[in-house]
Amino acid sequence: MLSEGLQATEPGGFLLIRDTACYSGRRLLKYYINCALKRGEAVHVLGFEVPEHELCAELDRNYLHLFHYHNAYTDPLGWTKQSSFTVKHFSATEITRLVQETQQATASVLVIDSLSWVVRHHDTVAVCQELQKLRKGGSVRMIFGLLHTDLHQQGIVGTVSHLASTVISVTPVNNARYAVAKISQRKKSGKVMQKEEFFSLTEDLTLSIETKPNQSGNVETDLHTKSEVDPMSNLTFNLRLSEVEREAKEKVALPFVFSEEKKSALLRPGRGSGRIMYEPDANDDIDEEDPDDDLDV
Amino acid sequence: MFAELNSILNTSPDDVTQREFILLSDRKADASFLLHHFLSFYLKAGCKVCFVGLVQSFSHYNAVAQRLGVNLVQAREKGQLVFVEALKASAAVMLNESSSDVAQLFDYLRSPVPELRALFEFVCASLSQAEAEADSSSPPVLIVDDLSVLLSLGVSVRAVLDFTHYCQAAICSRLQGSVVTLVRCDDEDDDDEDDDESSSRLLRALTHQCTLSLSVKGLQTGYCRDIHGQVEIWWRGTGENVQSQRKIFQYKVYDKGASFFAPGTSSAVL
């Protein structure tokens, strides 16, 4: 499902990668950039946190002509008057203009690295409105955003997440080679898919997904059609009876039913049945009294 | 300068790693010994250093540096060290006493929208100048002791982060230098999760930003004479394909140095 993130061809998709200080989601973001480039889509990056050379270091060299970096890293606030794009320019119209300046025939993808920077300098509501305008505007096919969840209040993270069509939360696993991605994807039909996947990214940005050792988290929730597994399939025994089997079963007498036959068999003293022979010894102390006298029999 | 720490970090004054953003942090312990280490380390390496001292006066840093074998007065006279007496200046601004040049850097304490732009511009100017003069073989370095004092002075976390971002962009990316900052976390635990202006929030944001993090903690069991605490060294693995890696050491600080050892292998224990 991680690798399908990009293929969601619904226009106006918004994929949000949420990370914490323990594990950076930027490599996953790079992987998606690389995938988009390989499919021949123009990628526009609003780079606040990482300089251009660092971001495109591992990308596929053959497609770099499709990669457009809008530098908001060196001067995001206009202090040194060096950059063309500052955080104040974060609006749908301004971004649409930027994207269309270098418009190519192909669809374009917008990458925001990172939304944390934008949210820190703008009102959350305003940011959400601009993002929504961008999605509806049609100038970008898809938006990718990175959000550091541990830098914001929970409400802000929730607000931005509600806007996204796909949310991927990455967390590290102890051995550090792999990380867990919790993916929840909301389709236009209202269907919500949730999945957890182990993944690792190699140096040349190839993604390998491992199946999760514990399958308990692998739940697919579907509100409309609930596919239930039949518990009666694959049984090692037979639950149903044929007519012949049923007749045979009914013929069998149950062991504790007291039939006439059984009664007579019990009452008739059989030959060779056991008997107690007792000859009192001289030393025996025989009690004449009935020992069961006090019993109410 | 602690030779042991250099070997752990795989660096030496002759071979300074460039473009590092080093974050020092402490919680229930004192990480200033690391700060003194980096100050003397970069001065010995011949780097141009800009030091913003918000915690102590120049004479204090000088006294410590002399024990580590570096003379700050000489370095300042040579022009290798630019020392910003932020401790005195910010107090003076608060008390409305002086109008010296340095105090102007701290106008943010009064201006309606507090931002650290003036301080950044000063730092940048003093370090860029150095690069124009000297051969650019040794990178410029900014050291700040410490950023959480700014929070106490009423600067917002946002403004501090803007400042560090600009410093990183200018010094690490443009001038190929390094930045060393110290953040003190004094809160007991993370119960102020939603507090926007806490030092732990600043620390988390800087952790995202840094390339190398050294976080010092006291021992959970309390004070110990032979082990002063533990330091977690975390190579963040951003940028040039360095894998993220964490190591934990325990340390003991001596008069003129410090020793680092794997947890549980203190000479007092074995």
B195: nearest CA partner in chain A: A153
Helix (H, G, I), strand (E, B) or coil at A120: helix
Structure tokens at B46: 């011949």
Contact (CB<8Å) A76/B165: yes
CA distances from B223 to A152, A247, A258, B34 (A): 34, 84, 83, 19
Residues 6+ apart with CB under 8 A from A267: none
Contact (CB<8Å) B158/A120: yes
CA distances from A84 to A32, A97, A98, A118, B125 (A): 25, 12, 10, 16, 22
Instruction: State pLDDT tens for residues A83-135.
Output: 778 888 888 888 888 888 876 667 788 999 889 999 999 999 999 999 999 88
Residue B260 within a domain: no
Q: How far apart are CA A97 and CA A115, in angstroms?
A: 19
Contact (CB<8Å) B209/A49: yes
Residue B8 within a domain: no
pLDDT at residue B52, as a whole number:
93
Contact (CB<8Å) B238/A26: yes
Contacts of B207 in chain A (CB under 8 A): 21
Q: How close, in Å, is residue B167 to chain A by CA atoms? A: 10
Residue B268 within a domain: no
Q: How far apart are CA A49 and CA A74, in angstroms?
A: 9
Residue B256 within a domain: no
| CATH value at residue B114 | 3.40.50.300
Structure tokens at A60: 């596929």
pLDDT at residue A217, as a whole number:
41
Residue B89 within a domain: yes
Give the number of domains in chain B.
1
Low-confidence residues of chain B: pLDDT under 70: 98-103, 111-113, 130-137, 187-196, 237-243
Minimum-distance CB partner of B238 among A24, A58, A150: A24
CA distances from B123 to A213, B49, B167, B171, B195 (A): 52, 10, 8, 9, 30
pLDDT at residue B99, as a whole number:
62
Q: Which neighbouring-strand residues pair with A158?
A: none
Structure tokens at A39: 């499919």
Q: How close, in Å, is residue B66 to chain A by CA atoms? A: 37
Angle at CA of residue A29, ends A125 and A170, nearest 5°: 80
Contact (CB<8Å) B120/A54: no
Residue by residue, pLDDT tens for chain A (297 residues) are 677 655 655 677 899 999 988 888 888 898 889 888 888 888 999 999 988 888 888 888 888 888 889 888 988 888 888 777 888 888 888 888 888 887 666 778 899 988 999 999 999 999 999 999 988 887 888 899 999 999 998 899 999 999 998 999 998 887 666 788 999 988 888 888 888 888 888 877 888 887 665 544 444 443 444 456 677 777 778 888 888 989 998 888 888 877 787 778 777 766 666 778 888 888 887 777 777 878 876
Domain that holds residue B154: 16-187+195-216
Q: How close, in Å, is residue B231 to chain A by CA atoms? A: 17
CA distances from B5 to A176, B61, B249 (A): 24, 20, 10
Q: Which neighbouring-strand residues pair with A182?
A: A169, A196
- Which CATH architecture fits A13-217? 3-Layer(aba) Sandwich (3.40)
Is A148 within 8 Å of chain B by CB? yes
A122: nearest CA partner in chain B: B158
pLDDT at residue B223, as a whole number:
84
pLDDT at residue A224, as a whole number:
44
Q: How far apart are CA A240 and CA A171, in angstroms?
A: 49
Average pLDDT, chain A: 82
B192: nearest CA partner in chain A: A153
Q: Which amino acid is at A294?
A: D
Task: State the alpha helices, DSSP H only, in A85-207.
Answer: 92-101, 115-121, 124-137, 154-163
Residue B77 within a domain: yes
Contact (CB<8Å) A26/B241: no
Minimum-distance CB partner of B169 among A58, A74, A176: A74
Q: How far apart are CA A97 and CA A83, in angstroms?
A: 16
Q: How close, in Å, is residue B215 to chain A by CA atoms? A: 14
Mutation for testing the B interface, residue in A150, A202, A205 having most B CBs under 10 Å: A150
Residue B179 within a domain: yes
